[in-house]
Amino acid sequence: MVLPAFTNMTDLAAERLGGKVLACSDDFFAEKENLIKPGRGIFIPDKYTDRGKWMDGWESRRKRIPGHDWAVIQLATSGKIQGVDIDTNHFRGNHPPHASIDAASIAPMENIDLGKVEWKEILPKSALQPGSHNFFDIRQAALERPGGVYTHVRLNIYPDGGVARLKVYGEVFKDWNVVGENELIDLAAAVNSAKAILCNDMFFSHMDNLILPGRGVNMGDGWETKRNRTPGNKDWVIVRLAHEGVIEKVMIDTCHFKGNYPDSCFIEGCNISQKDEEKLNSLDVTWETILPQSKLQADHEHYFEKEIVTKEPYTHVRLTIMPDGGVSRMRLWGTIVK
């Protein structure tokens, strides 16, 4: 399957990033929280609960009154939504025939009165296929409904049924005007709009994990390359920083990686525009050393500050590990260039 280009963007609703399912009209058969979990959901043929068949998704009961079901998700971070995937994986005789999505921008508050939220339709009522991805390009849907920056979405299903996962792909929005020139901020954090954009290998786990919040929950929650038998091998990943900035402090976390952590690593930086990112894996880009080659340990948080050799501003960084292995998280604290 050829996936839409917007699926390379950040899933703003992902639980691992900090998304939350706040409320729903009904989740009798399967809990609303499943909507934003990783992956596409699994199916266990003989697993049942006291309410019926266990399903890895959000599933409401069969509606016997007028109306439709809905679920409200607080995005992990405010963002500009570009596309969605309403995934009905494993829901075949019980999927909703149609769905729509509304969005809103809500100021941070402890108690949200969902009845008073001014919702804006970003995806009109659209047909869903059972047991499959249902991709919708919000940029196309927004041609007649100009888009904006949103903090919450409401998934409406007509009239009832089950959805395995909801992915809300888009660009993280951060108001850099409120960040001070001398304020230290994690320039490699996905929630600040950093993005892993290129690597030479991610056989065991995805490069996106490298910049997620928190520590890795297990060995699969990191970036791990396959075993390489080439003498002198180096694996690498390139991250677009959240903002052009000067890196002051580095943390490389090998949490859970014990027999497969890299022997050492180093970090380089460059300064290019996003439109030139196709050049990143070429000789046209000059990389400058930020952190020289440094020894790593198993299952350990490594902090580097005095070891940093340059205080120049960069837009992109390249983490190189030798010879191969896994890194759970990378943090790059620094100050932004206004």
Tens digit of pLDDT for each residue in 269-327?
999 999 999 989 888 899 999 999 999 999 999 999 999 999 999 999 999 999 999 99
User: Do 131 and 206 reside in the same domain of the chain?
Assistant: no
Q: How far is CA 72 from the centre of its chain?
A: 18
Sorting pLDDT into bands at 50, 70 and 90, what band is 147? Answer: low
Rounded-to-integer distance, Cα 212 and Cα 257, Å? 17
Q: What is the mean pLDDT of residues 42-67?
A: 95
The two tokens of residue 206 are 């995805």
Q: What is the mean pLDDT of residues 206-230?
A: 97
- The pLDDT of residue 314 is 98
- Tens-place pLDDT, residues 62-88: 999 999 999 999 999 999 999 999 999
Percent of the chain with pLDDT over 90: 91
- Give the mean pLDDT of the chain: 95
Domain end among 157, 172, 187: 172
- The pLDDT of residue 140 is 54
Does residue 269 contact residue 314 with C-beta atoms inside 8 Å? Answer: yes
Which residue carries 């954090």 as its tokens? Answer: 189
Rounded-to-integer distance, Cα 151 and Cα 76, Å? 8
Rounded-to-integer distance, Cα 99 and Cα 85, Å? 11
Sorting pLDDT into bands at 50, 70 and 90, what band is 139? Answer: confident
Sorting pLDDT into bands at 50, 70 and 90, what band is 105? Answer: very high
Rounded-to-integer distance, Cα 31 and Cα 125, Å? 23
User: Do 89 and 210 reside in the same domain of the chain?
Assistant: no
Sorting pLDDT into bands at 50, 70 and 90, what band is 141? Answer: low
Amino acid code (one letter) for 53:
K
User: Do 224 and 207 reside in the same domain of the chain?
Assistant: yes
Domain end among 172, 187, 219: 172
User: Do 285 and 325 reside in the same domain of the chain?
Assistant: yes
- The pLDDT of residue 143 is 45
145 has a pLDDT exceeding 70: no
DSSP state for residue 263 in the 8-state scheme:
S
Contacts of 55 (CB under 8 A, 6+ apart): 29, 30, 41, 43, 90, 91, 94, 162, 164
User: Do 166 and 191 reside in the same domain of the chain?
Assistant: no
- The pLDDT of residue 148 is 87
- Tens-place pLDDT, residues 166-185: 999 999 999 999 999 999 99
The two tokens of residue 15 are 């639980």
Query: Using DSSP, how many helices (H) and how many strands (E) does the chain show?
Result: 1, 22
User: Do 304 and 189 reside in the same domain of the chain?
Assistant: yes
Rounded-to-integer distance, Cα 206 and Cα 10, Å? 13
**CA nearest neighbour of 180 among 255, 228, 243:** 243
User: Do 128 and 200 reside in the same domain of the chain?
Assistant: no
CA 73-102-16 angle, to 5 degrees, is 25
The two tokens of residue 314 are 């960069």
Any idea what the CATH number is for the domain that residue 284 is in? 2.60.120.260
Domain end among 144, 172, 200: 172
- The pLDDT of residue 116 is 86
Does residue 87 contact residue 168 with C-beta atoms inside 8 Å? Answer: no
- Tens-place pLDDT, residues 4-19: 999 999 999 999 999 9
The two tokens of residue 194 are 């950093």
Rounded-to-integer distance, Cα 97 and Cα 237, Å? 41
Does residue 212 contact residue 282 with C-beta atoms inside 8 Å? Answer: no
Q: What are phi and psi of 107, to 5 degrees?
A: -65, 145
Q: What is the mean pLDDT of residues 57-61?
A: 98
- For the ranges 95-109, 119-133, 256-270, 321-335, which has the lowest average pLDDT? 95-109
How, if at all, do strands 98-104 and 52-53 pair? unpaired
User: Do 180 and 208 reside in the same domain of the chain?
Assistant: yes
56 has a pLDDT exceeding 90: yes
User: Do 136 and 202 reside in the same domain of the chain?
Assistant: no
Sorting pLDDT into bands at 50, 70 and 90, what band is 144? Answer: very low
User: Do 136 and 149 reside in the same domain of the chain?
Assistant: yes
Q: What is the DSSP string of 130-151?
A: TTS--EEEHHHHTTSS----EE
> pTM for the whole thing?
0.91
User: Do 148 and 189 reside in the same domain of the chain?
Assistant: no
Number of domains in the chain: 2
Q: What is the mean pLDDT of residues 231-247?
A: 98
45 has a pLDDT exceeding 70: yes
Q: Which helix (H) or strand (E) holds 167?
A: strand 165-172
Neighbours of 213 (CB within 10 A): 13
User: Do 190 and 326 reside in the same domain of the chain?
Assistant: yes
109 has a pLDDT exceeding 50: yes
Question: Which residue range is the domain that position 48 belongs to?
Answer: 5-172
- For the ranges 45-54, 88-97, 104-113, which has the lowest average pLDDT? 104-113
Cα four-point dihedral sign 20, 25, 31, 37: negative
- Max mean pLDDT range (101-110, 139-148, 324-333): 324-333
Amino acid code (one letter) for 333:
W
